[in-house]
Amino acid sequence: NGFDSIIGFDMGGTSTDVSRYGGFFSKVTEVEAGGINFQASSLDIETVAAGGGSLLWFDGQRLQVGPESVGAVPGPVCYGLGGKLAVTDANLVLGRINPDFFPEVFGSEQNNKLDYERSRLEFEKLKKKINKSTKSSFSVEELAKGFLDIANEKMAGAIKKISVSRGYDVRVHALVCFGGAAPQHCCSIAKILGIKQIVIHPLSSLLSAYGIANADQFRYKVKSLVEKFNSDSHKEVFSELSYLESPLIDEIQNLGILPENITTKKYLDLRMAGTDTPLTIPFTEYESMLVSFVERHRDLFGFSPPNELEIANVRVEVTGHRTKIDNS
């Protein structure tokens, strides 16, 4: 659609995943999972525990959203299965969800609409508890909006982490929404972040499945190659990149993908000599790479690199494009 930079905003039932695309996919080389660090190239995706099923509760002093989720069963109160208040209930009470637009598959017999009255009744109970504890006079609508504001701030914080903290101006991005709950929250989050453009795909609630069905075949190789970055090493590393590229292309072609549908991208991980934080720069002319590194370094760290540069790794990515599924 002509957008140069986008923020992917995927809000489902239990969590929200956010990512950034600015002409190429943002990636990280170190991933932490379960307290263990892995040296592996992966997409730079930030996840927060905020989704349609995130639990709404009061700790005696403050409103809280998540991190626990009510799950699909029993689910939010409005599912009619004895669940607890969740983000979906707040959206329903505020009129952001219309029960008439959903199939009648809720309740113990799976033949009812979303139960607005039951959600409101539970909010009334919570309202009395909160107003008594805090000596306040909140209405049901004010409490529901307050819970949603907390959830929206959490999600906006995740977006800042993969944009602002990486040196990108989030305001010049378009917010691309998908997942079952994202369209209910995108306007509020865009307002928090100063984003002016929002894209909601016609298949937004199915976009993850649609994306996997259309996914390209992707292979990559990384090789550590620590040496000074200058015009001579720039020329020498070209043969190294070609050596890494050849078997990846063969592997993609063995899957039945034609050569004309295969694209290759080459990168160098560059860093200031004596540091351990490389920046991944597309492999182009030597002078162009120097300029790109200085610009990225200044955006991220606020100053131009004073020292000579060195190569940390060489990278090759090969993508095989398949015929896409029509979304009409």
Same domain, 25 and 139: yes
Same domain, 100 and 222: no
Q: Using 50, 70 and 90 to split pLDDT, how confident is the model at 44?
A: confident
- CATH classification at residue 278: 3.30.1490
Cα 236 to Cα 221, 264, 278, 287, 314: the distances in Å are 18, 19, 20, 15, 12
Residue 105 counted as domain residue: yes
Same domain, 79 and 166: yes
Same domain, 84 and 156: yes
pLDDT in tens, 231-249: 899 998 988 898 899 999 9
What angle is formed at CA 46 by the lines to CA 41 and CA 48, rounded to 5 degrees? Answer: 145
Question: Which contacts of 81-86 are long-range, i.e. CB under 8 A and separated by 24 or more positions?
Answer: 81/106, 81/107, 81/108, 84/55, 84/56, 84/57, 84/122, 85/55, 85/56, 85/57, 85/119, 85/122, 85/123, 85/126, 86/52, 86/53, 86/54, 86/55, 86/56
pLDDT in tens, 104-153: 899 888 899 999 999 999 999 999 999 999 898 999 999 999 999 999 99
| Domain tally, the chain | 2
Per-residue pLDDT for 154 more than 80? Answer: yes
**Listed residues 155, 185, 213: the one ending a domain:** 213
**Listed residues 166, 189, 213: the one ending a domain:** 213
Residue 30 counted as domain residue: yes
Q: Are 325 and 213 in contact (CB under 8 A)?
A: yes
Say what the pLDDT of residue 266 is: 93
Q: What's the pTM?
A: 0.74
**Listed residues 161, 183, 213: the one ending a domain:** 213
Residue 328 counted as domain residue: no
- The domain of 287 spans 217-320
* Pairing relationship of beta strands 279-282 and 309-320 according to DSSP bridges: unpaired
Same domain, 206 and 309: no
Residue 202 counted as domain residue: yes
Same domain, 103 and 221: no
Q: What percent of the chain has pLDDT over 70?
A: 96
Same domain, 154 and 68: yes
pLDDT in tens, 99-110: 999 888 998 888
Chain-wide mean pLDDT for the chain? 88
Same domain, 207 and 253: no
Say what the pLDDT of residue 43 is: 80
Same domain, 95 and 162: yes
Say what the pLDDT of residue 127 is: 93
> What is the DSSP-derived secondary structure letter of residue 65?
E
Using CA atoms, how far apart are residues 321 and 256, in angstroms rounded to an integer? 11
Residue 18 counted as domain residue: yes
Residue 326 counted as domain residue: no
Q: Using 50, 70 and 90 to split pLDDT, how confident is the model at 64?
A: very high
Same domain, 194 and 231: no
Using CA atoms, how far apart are residues 282 and 296, in angstroms rounded to an integer? 12
Same domain, 207 and 238: no
Same domain, 200 and 166: yes
Q: Mean pLDDT across the stretch 298-324?
A: 85
Residue 325 counted as domain residue: no
pLDDT in tens, 254-308: 988 888 899 999 999 999 888 888 888 999 999 999 999 998 888 888 888 877 8
Least confident of 38-52, 87-101, 170-184, 194-208: 38-52
Bridge partners (DSSP) of residue 315 are 222, 267
Residue 205 counted as domain residue: yes
